[in-house]
Structure 1
């Protein structure tokens, strides 16, 4: 729908006790790309009492909106004591800088098979190479995180089984929970069965960050095979609220994906957005 009223309705949910709901609301504000949401998102990012996943999503949303006015607050928290928040702010700053570059105006970026506003663009065809080269960039811990994300989204867009298996290896990256959670997210977007086993392993690892396990659960809900359903049922009573709630949502997604009803939560895609004024 879009518009100021929609922003206000979404923002009213930030008093809810559910971190899962709040983070999803922040994500939606970013996808709307409406600068009128910036004050709400900045307030979330500044609130150090908020859950890390919510602050992360607020920072990512600021990067998705991409306005230069957000640079100051993102720089302020780019060295935050919470790693996922700091890294997200760094990525958002890199995206805003990229939006101001000549490269962002190239037509190559208009052909993505996905409609989401991503935290980094894919690599250019001439720069990205094939799956093997992109996988090397993805797993290169010495490379800037923004470049690793670009390789990640290139592999997602390529979508072949080798590309999906290369992405799934990213779930083994020990250096960044933020990186692992984003890998899980793109595997959910790709909805390829080759990722199911690895996503299930990470969901089952109670030592893993809840933010990563949550994203694995939602990815399994998107893929929605019988194996996914069984994996999710095992953790629908998990002690971690973020994981427990994500499994409940993912099981609902599985049911929708395997029914003749409308696709899960696709209502906004069917409505003409309000023009920004």
Structure 2
């Protein structure tokens, strides 16, 4: 049984900008696994950070927790134009992942947001929350593409998608290739990461995918961009290298916030 004090200690690591980014990510994923109002409160507090990558992952984790108590903070992030587009994008996807019908009208509203990264997630999420008949003005192909990508979790998916469509589409292709964890995707992911003209949101997702696949060729690609001038790419490589170390090591789980806490107090 995890105590409130333990949740608070892990949360303190998450919100402390003096902590290494890798430690903050591990704390975040620990809180995601623990769940509950305390974990949601700490994750929500971290949206005041200046790292777009961290905030993107905060929204992602809140969506995965599928707890309606996270809806208010995700709505605030989606509506906050001061937040980076990739962060608002992920907040939109997280609201769709939670799947509460109360956000349907809000997602419909933001399906016409002037920021294209924000427009995509509501269009993808809406079919989950309501029938197509109620949404006659929305283009089905975007949602259809997302469904096809999700199917890719269980079957081979061509890395050629990293050269196609919008930046949002390529971002999702990178995510799914990372989930598949197949080394055949490594050359294309490494090439997309190396394309400086590519959207940083796509490059960030390719870096994280390489960390998840964790083959020797991934290590070289990530190390090559550890000092990338684009902050979100540089930080993504930092976190991905930590993921690589975990995947190739003996540690039981990446979300080791509790183990770290108990080790520090033993």
Q: Work out whether the TM-score is over 0.5.
A: yes
Equivalent-residue separation in structure 2 for 1:6 and 1:189 (angstroms): 25
Unaligned runs of at least 5 residues, structure 1: 100-141, 269-277
| Runs of 5+ unmatched residues, structure 2 | 1-33, 133-138, 259-266
**What's the TM-score, normalizing by structure 1?**
0.76
1:247 is matched with 237
Tell me the CA shift for residue 98 of structure 1.
Answer: 5.8
Name the counterpart of 1:148.
145
Distance in 1 (alpha carbons) for counterparts of 2:180 and 2:256: 16
Could you tell me how far apart the structure 2 residues matched to 1:190 and 1:267 are? 25
Which residue, out of 92, 95, 102, partners 2:128?
95
Instruction: Provide the C-alpha distance between the structure 2 equivalents of 1:153 and 1:179, rounded to a whole number of angstroms.
Output: 12
Alpha-carbon displacement from aligned partner over 1:161-188 (angstroms, at most 9, x marks no partner): xx23x2x111111x31111111100111
Equivalent runs, 1:27-46 vs 2, <5 Å: 27-46=60-79
Match for residue 169 of structure 2 among 162, 174, 179: 179
Query: What CA distance in whole angstroms lies between the structure 2 residues aligned with 1:240 and 1:98?
Result: 40
- SS of the equivalent of 2:93 reads helix
Distance 2:255 2:195 in 1: 28
Report deviation, 1:264.
Answer: 2.2
1:78 partnered with 2:78: no
* Alignment partner of 1:65 out of 94, 98, 111: 98
- What residue in structure 2 maps to residue 219 of structure 1? 209
The answer to whether 1:169 aligns with 2:160 is yes
Asked if the contact 2:96/2:126 (under 8 Å) is kept, the reply is: yes
Tell me the alpha carbon deviations over residues 95-116 of structure 1, each in whole angstroms, 9 at most, x when there is no partner.
21269xxxxxxxxxxxxxxxxx
How many Å apart are 1:87 and its aligned residue? 1.1
Cα distance in structure 2, aligned partners of 1:17 and 1:89: 25
Higher normalized helix content (fraction of residues)? 2
Are 2:64 and 2:94, in contact at CA under 8 Å, matched by a contact in 1? yes
* Separation in structure 2 between the aligned mates of residue 243 and residue 219 of structure 1, nearest angstrom: 12
* Counterpart position of 1:17: 50
Give the CA deviation at 1:90.
1.0
Matched residues, number: 221
DSSP 3-state at the match of 2:114: coil
Cα deviations by residue, 1:60-97 (Å, 9 ceiling, x for unpaired): 00000111110121111111111111011111112212
Residue 41 (structure 2) pairs with residue 8 (structure 1) = yes
Task: Name which of 86, 89, 93 aligns with 1:53.
Answer: 86
CA distance in 2, matches of 1:184, 1:206: 16
1:5 Cα deviation from its structure 2 partner = 1.2
Structure number with the bigger relative contact order (C-alpha 8 A, sep ≥ 6) is: 2
Corresponding residue SS for 2:249 = coil
